Amino acid sequence: MKVRQIESLMAAVELGSLRKAAQKLDISQPAVTQQINTLEESLNLILLRRTPGGVAGTPNYKSLQPYIEGVLRASHALKQEADAISGSASGSLTISAVPAASQKIIPKAMKLFRSISPQIQFKILEMSSEGVKSTVQTGQSDIGLLSHWIHDEPADEQETLTYRTVYENPSPLTLYLPAGTTLSSPNPLPSTELTQYEFIVLTKGHLLREAFDKLSEDVPLRIVYETTSSAAALTLVQGGLGASILPESMMADQAQPVIKRPLEIKFPKTGISIIRRNDEMPTSPMIEFTRTIQGMFI
């Protein structure tokens, strides 16, 4: 069994096509077919079947998929470790992150990290916290940066994921309103008065959406727009399209001011954590990148 055989099989299943797998691996289609046939012979199992639209994994493949993916990840980790030991560290690091982390933390961390390991290539996947957890758990990303309530790390995930909080945001959640909105009082706003506004919210899976949904349990709140980032929500508020609940520390464009109103209800503090799978040995790039981010907040 060779790594190239596994790569050929996984590419064919992922893309549903031997031709596309060959293009991805930069080899000929007959070579891909031969690699898969040899792997099937060595395991004495049929792993790939033809379909009207191309190819797909067989039930045997689905049963072995966790082990197949594990072998490939271990191979890549071995190569990166060997490169690190020899002083020629190379390879790639796939990071999934919430927008706040991908826009404010990762760029600086990448600059610091690349001054030490310039050969490492980065792939950044921006998504919600739920998406970050999913991609790390399934091995689609090496590490993830997600938002969460401080001291609220789900127990059922501790068996598969390691959490390491790198940043705690002391800023409370605040109601943002378009400039010119008439306020009856500067005092903290009770939940019952939120019904007078139309809201711009983040999509499901984001921590700020979770906060909004919690408020909606007590009072009916109207949603007019959904977006994937808090920065986009703030821009929509500045455009006069509605209100939004965002961290108090967000900086609005001074040319387009907004009104901030404290909320009577208090939410726990939020933080950003780095997560990785528990059942895999972290590679040197994963360890060093984690240390780089931690060093930014010391």
Residues paired with 298 in a beta bridge: none
- Confidence (pLDDT) at 241: 93
263 pLDDT more than 80: yes
**Which of 43 and 160 is assigned the larger pLDDT?**
43
Cβ-count burial 100-138 (b if 16+ within 10 Å, e if not) = bbbeebbeebbeebeeebeebeeebebbbbbbbbbbbee
What is the percent of the chain with per-residue pLDDT over 90, rounded to a whole number? 19
d(CA 139, CA 186): 48
Residues 265-272: what's their mean pLDDT? 84
Query: At 227, is the pLDDT very low, low, confident or very high (cuts 50, 70, 90)?
Result: very high
Query: At 156, is the pLDDT very low, low, confident or very high (cuts 50, 70, 90)?
Result: very low
Strand 244-247 and strand 258-262: the pairing is: unpaired
- Confidence (pLDDT) at 84: 59
What's domain 3-82's architecture? Orthogonal Bundle (1.10)
Neighbours of 206 (CB within 10 A): 27
pLDDT tens for 7-59 read 889 889 989 999 888 888 878 888 889 989 998 999 899 999 988 889 999 99
Q: Are 263 and 188 in contact (CB under 8 A)?
A: yes
DSSP state of 30: H
Q: How far is CA 200 from CA 61, 136, 209, 225, in A?
A: 44, 29, 10, 5
pLDDT tens for 52-67 read 889 999 999 888 888 8
Residues 279-292: what's their mean pLDDT? 79
pLDDT tens for 170-196 read 778 889 999 888 776 778 888 888 899
Assigned CATH class of 173-268? alpha beta
Query: At 81, is the pLDDT very low, low, confident or very high (cuts 50, 70, 90)?
Result: low
Residues 132-152: what's their mean pLDDT? 85
Q: How far is CA 265 from CA 167, 172, 243, 245, in A?
A: 23, 10, 17, 12
- Confidence (pLDDT) at 243: 94
214 pLDDT more than 60: yes
- Confidence (pLDDT) at 250: 75
d(CA 260, CA 177): 6
Q: Over the chain, what is the mean pLDDT?
A: 83
Query: At 221, is the pLDDT very low, low, confident or very high (cuts 50, 70, 90)?
Result: very high
**Which of 192 and 151 is assigned the larger pLDDT?**
192
pTM comes to 0.61
CATH number of 89-169+271-296: 3.40.190.10
Asked if 89-169+271-296 and 173-268 have one fold, the answer is yes
- Confidence (pLDDT) at 215: 87
261 pLDDT more than 70: yes
Q: Are 179 and 256 in contact (CB under 8 A)?
A: yes
Residues 249-276: what's their mean pLDDT? 79
What is the domain partition of the chain in residue ranges? 3-82, 89-169+271-296, 173-268
- Confidence (pLDDT) at 233: 92
d(CA 74, CA 6): 12
Neighbours of 74 (CB within 10 A): 13
